[in-house]
Amino acid sequence: MFIETIPNRGSPPAVLLRESYREGKRVRKRTLANLSALPAAIVEGLRGLLKGGIMISAAAEAGEPGLRIARSLPHGHVAAALGTLRKIALDRLLLSTAKDARSQRYCDLIVAMIVDRLVTPRSKLGFVRAVSAETACTSVGAVLGLGEVAEREAYEALDWLLKQQPRIENGLARRHLNEGTLVLYDVSSSYMEGRKCPLAQFGYSRDHRRDRPQIVYGLLCTRDGLPVAIEVFEGNTADPATLSAQVTKLKARFKLDRVVVVGDRGMLTSARIRDDLQPAGLDWISCLRAPAIQQLAAENGPLQPSLFDQRDMAEISAPAQFPGERLVVCRNPFLADERGRKRTELLAATERELERLASQVGRKGTRLKTAADIGLAVGAIVNRKKMAKHFILDIADGHLAWQRNLASIAHEARLDGLYVIRTSLPAEVMDGAATVQTYKNLARVERAFRSMKTVDLEIRPIRHWTADRVRAHVCLCMLAYHVEWHLRDALAPLLFHDTEIEAARAERSSPVVRTEPSETVKAKKATKHTPDGLAVLSFAHHIAHLGTLTRNQVRAPFHGDHSFILYSTPTPLQAEAFNRLGLDPARVQ
């Protein structure tokens, strides 16, 4: 028997249940029933049964298992991260010209580690468990076809990545850095758990963990904050000491002759500019330290506060101190108020501690009797908050008195809110306003550090103790943030990002003032929804929401125990996210 559809001119087609029979040597057909009145779904079900299929409900009633979900794994966030990684061809850059099976295996493992770090940062042992079929936490292992992964393989893949790091960074530089480009460079640190790593040393801790040894790493980014290279140094390496390695990287490895290096005042010191940047022929944009600003603001100096009675930005020159450089002086009134408030609070806090100490000095039986003992205790107080220059102290045996140094306070207060940008670029290449904004763009590197260290990728805790494995781990986190940058850029309308920030900056009266949020981002933050009514989430919550789109392994009693993959239906927010990413979650591999 079979079902046949017969066209019926202008009327709906006739759906007939028929059977074939033989009459002599001829095969004929006869109609058994007219199924035209039945719903199309029932007709298709009968058609499947007649072709040898099994009716699931009938199988269940007979005691045989029907359709069942054998395994359900979070998949949406994996599809977003892996699809973006494939889209920017980072996997091809990792593998390059290597064609052997071992390199391909290591490349797949590194790709899986990058995706796993974006989805849920964990240790390498945790990664091995998360991608193994028996203990899988996401679909990354199944999508990449990793099979069983040994812990040894994960560490071997890290070692392979470290060997490929120079070539990978060279490839990223070719894609994103051109002659005359701006390069943002900054340094951060992360503390270590153990003491066996030779890179782990005690130094200035940006994590406020002076009790732990640490590593230092420098990050090179494009002017938009997209990372292209990273380098790890010993934990006691000073920021300026990392610069020469970056100059060599830019000139020798990236083959760039004209580059503008943007770094903060602690990085691009006058000594580093003289010894590293100028001999290499590189330009720079940086900021002056407070002592240099005070020298410029001396009597009859080129920097006079009266310049800012009617404006907040001015260009000056100081050929004697900074030959061949332009100096762009800015005054931010909000920064001036903040510095004044902070100084007032520090002075008051210091005086409270001095009063407490004075009461101890006058107490009978105190151990603070000599001027030397009292001086040591006073020094510890005034130096702790760096207020020694603002107090006039009177110390003698059994005596302590003080008063504020009003002249010193007034001298410092007249420079509140002032900062000076220094650059070697001529005005026809970059004007003063663009120079100030370029220096402010260093905040994008800070954003990268914040994402890598705490918010999304969690570079800490560092669970390795050999120098090479630590370097490979940091490189892996940099590559993960490279993918995250592209994800954030595509999903910006669905996040709390200001997609009209450049237009808002163009409308400012001066680059010194703070950029006001656009009306679009104000509406998103107020309503927590887009103009289309979709929920606006943080990046972390958006990744978590994408993870609720699952990859289901469904088993059905078709010709034995047959299985197939069925993806859950995307929510409207998930559908919009994949639309903006240009991806189909069911087709990402």
275 in the same domain as 211: yes
Instruction: Grade residue 308 by pLDDT with cuts at 50, 70 and 90.
Output: confident
Number of neighbours of residue 25 by Cβ within 10 angstroms: 5
15 part of a folded domain: yes
Q: Which residue has the higher pLDDT, 434 or 64?
A: 434
- pLDDT at residue 165 is higher than 60: yes
Indicate the helix (H) or strand (E) that contains 443: helix 443-450
pLDDT tens for residues 526-560? Answer: 999 999 999 999 999 999 999 999 999 988 765 55
> Look-up: residue for tokens 């893949």?
157
Does residue 420 sit in helix, strand or coil?
A: strand
**Digit-coded pLDDT (tens) for 512-527:** 888 888 888 999 999 9
Give domain status of residue 268, yes or no: yes
Residue 205 lies inside a defined structural domain of this protein: yes
Q: Which of 560, 435, 510 is nearest to 182 (CA)?
A: 435
Residues of the chain above pLDDT 70, percent: 97
The partner residues of 22 in beta bridges, in order of sequence, read 27
Is pLDDT at 486 greater than 90 in this prediction? yes
Q: How many Cα atoms within 13 Å fall on the side-chain side of residue 54? A: 18
Sheet holding 2-8, edge to edge: 2-8, 11-23, 26-34
Residue, of 20 and 79, whose pLDDT is higher: 79
* pLDDT at residue 558, as a whole number: 57
| Residue 13 DSSP class | E
Asked if 168 and 264 sit in the same domain, the reply is yes
Return the DSSP state at 453.
Answer: I
- pLDDT winner (highest mean) among 27-41, 91-105, 166-180: 166-180
pLDDT of residue 344: 95
Residue 144: which residues within 8 A CB-CB, separation 6 or more? 82, 108, 111, 112, 131, 589
pLDDT band at residue 57, thresholds of 50, 70 and 90?
low
CA distance 451 to 574: 23
On whether residue 553 sits in a domain, the answer given is no
| Same domain as 182, residue 158 | no
Give one DSSP letter per residue of 155-188, joined into a string: HHHHHHHHHHHHHHHHHHHHHH--TTEEEEEEEE
Report pLDDT for 53.
67
Q: What length is written for the chain?
A: 589
**pLDDT class of 176 with cuts at 50, 70, 90:** very high
- Classify residue 9: in a domain, yes or no: yes
Q: Quickly list DSSP for 102-137.
A: HHHHHHHHHHHHHHHHHHS---HHHHHHHHSTTT-S
Same domain, 184 and 226: yes
On whether residue 16 sits in a domain, the answer given is yes
Q: Are 261 and 254 in contact (CB under 8 A)?
A: no
pLDDT at 182 over 70: yes
**Number of CB atoms found within 10 A of residue 542's CB:** 22
Tell me the mean pLDDT in the region 461-465.
87
* Closest to 514 in 3D by CA, of 330, 271, 324: 330
- Bridge partners (DSSP) of residue 11 are 8
- 204 and 283 share a domain? yes
* Pair 285, 179 in one domain: yes
The enclosing domain of 438 has a CATH number of 3.30.420.10
User: Do 172 and 282 belong to one domain?
Assistant: yes
Among 162, 184, 207, the domain boundary falls at: 162
pLDDT exceeds 90 at position 447 = no
Count Cβ atoms within 10 A of the Cβ of residue 341 and give its class: 0-12 exposed, 13-18 middle, 19 or more buried.
exposed
pLDDT digits (tens, 9 = 90+) for 61-112: 555 566 788 899 999 999 999 999 999 999 999 987 777 899 999 999 999 9
Q: Domain range for residue 101?
A: 80-162
Last residue of a domain, one of 413, 439, 468: 413
HEC assignment per residue over 441-498? CCHHHHHHHHHHHHHCCCCCCCCCCCHHHHHHHHHHHHHHHHHHHHHHHHHHHHCCCC
The C-alpha atoms of residue 107 and residue 91 are separated, in whole angstroms, by: 7
Cβ burial, residue 403 (10 Å; 0-12/13-18/19+): exposed
In this predicted model, which residue has the larger pLDDT, 360 or 64? 360
On whether both 409 and 378 belong to a single domain, the answer is yes
Q: What is the pLDDT of residue 23?
A: 84
461 and 399 assigned to the same domain:
no
DSSP 528: S
Domain stop point among 162, 188, 212? 162
Going by pLDDT thresholds of 50, 70 and 90, the confidence category of residue 149 is very high
Tens digits of residue pLDDT in 241-251: 999 999 999 99
Interval 195-200 mean pLDDT: 90
pLDDT score recorded for residue 340: 94
- The answer on 448 and 404 residing in a single domain is no
HSE (side-chain half, CA atoms, 13 Å) at 31: 10
Q: Residues of the chain with pLDDT > 90: what percent? A: 60
Candidates 499, 506, 507, 449; CA nearest to 478 is 449
Reported confidence tier of residue 44, pLDDT bands at 50, 70, 90:
confident
Q: How many domains is the chain built from? A: 4
What 3-state DSSP class applies to 198? coil
Looking at every residue in the chain, the average pLDDT score rounds to: 89
The Cα–Cα gap between 62 and 59 comes to 5
Together in a domain, 255 and 345 = no
Residue 224 lies in a domain: yes
Q: What count of Cα atoms within 13 Å lies in the side-chain half-sphere of residue 347?
A: 17
Q: Which of 124, 144, 122, 123 lies closest to 133, judged by CA?
A: 144
Whether residues 168 and 288 fall in one domain = yes
Cα atoms in the Cβ-side hemisphere of radius 13 Å centred on 502? 3
- Whether residue 327 contacts residue 301, with contact meaning beta carbons closer than 8 Å, is answered with no
Which pLDDT score is estimated for 524?
Answer: 93
Q: Give the pLDDT mean for 190-198.
A: 87
Give me the pLDDT at residue 572, please.
Answer: 95
Q: Is residue 554 part of a domain?
A: no
